[in-house]
Structure 1
Amino acid sequence: MSTAHPAVADRYISFKGIDYDGNVARVLAHLDRRRTGSDAQAARLIDYIDRQRASTQGAQRDDLLLLHSLVNPIRELFERHADTPALDDLDRLERECF
């Protein structure tokens, strides 16, 4: 009796050609557009992201890791505003970079 598992594609073989910085920058730009709205939840989330990005003490995160750790609240924000372009860019970031 064989216990071998069927071959599964390893998506981590190579990330060559993926624009991590561009994907992150697009999502951050969508968040920045939400900065001026009247959504208090968005303001708190964006303020938190700003503080984390500017932090010089304690554990520091790069922007990709920061967005990864906040992907669910970011998605909820974009969904709440029916922001399809932002959701598309967030989906791409998740698919290619997380």
Structure 2
Amino acid sequence: MSVPFDRYVSFKNADWEGKSQRVMARLQRHIDAADNPFWAYFAKKRDELRAKQGLDDLRVLHNYLPTLRELLEDCGDLETLELLEDLEVTCM
């Protein structure tokens, strides 16, 4: 019996999945509000990256980290920015 490889072994106790889910849930508010065209693009790319490349939300967030940080700063969503920065420091 083979054991599945977990590429995030070093994050074992960091709850990277839970943190990623919390950030994505908060980003969904921006996606739903559609105040900026980036959010529709981000949602589409998230779906594509997950479906076609099998990437998880941690990797998707990592791919767009600078843009997400800038947009969250610009709109004053400091709580989501703080969660994203914590995720970056502990899991990226």
Question: Normalization by structure 2: what TM-score?
Answer: 0.74
Match of 1:33 among 13, 29, 32: 29
Report what 1:76 is aligned to. 70
**CA RMSD, Structure 1 to Structure 2 (Å):** 2.1
The secondary structure found in structure 2 opposite 1:61 is coil
- 2:20 and 2:87 in contact (8 A); partners too: yes
| Superimposed CA distance per residue, residues 63-94 of structure 1 (whole angstroms, 9 cap, x where no aligned partner) | 11110010011111110111111111011110
Higher relative contact order (CA 8 A, sep 6+): 2
What does 1:7-22 align with in structure 2 at a 5 Å threshold?
14-22=10-18
Q: Are residue 46 (structure 1) and residue 39 (structure 2) matched?
A: yes
- 2:19 and 2:87 in contact (8 A); partners too: yes
Q: Distance in 1 between matches of 2:83 and 2:61?
A: 12
Flag the 1:84–1:97 CA change in 2: closer, same or farther, 3 A.
Answer: same
Flag the 1:38–1:45 CA change in 2: closer, same or farther, 3 A.
Answer: closer
Q: After TM superposition, where is structure 1 displaced by more than 6 Å over at least 4 residues in a row?
A: none
Question: Normalization by structure 1: what TM-score?
Answer: 0.70
Q: Which runs of 5+ in 1 are unaligned?
A: 1-12
Total equivalences in the alignment: 82
Flag the 1:60–1:17 CA change in 2: closer, same or farther, 3 A.
Answer: closer
The secondary structure found in structure 1 opposite 2:86 is helix
Amino acid at match of 1:78: L
Decide which structure has greater helix share: 2
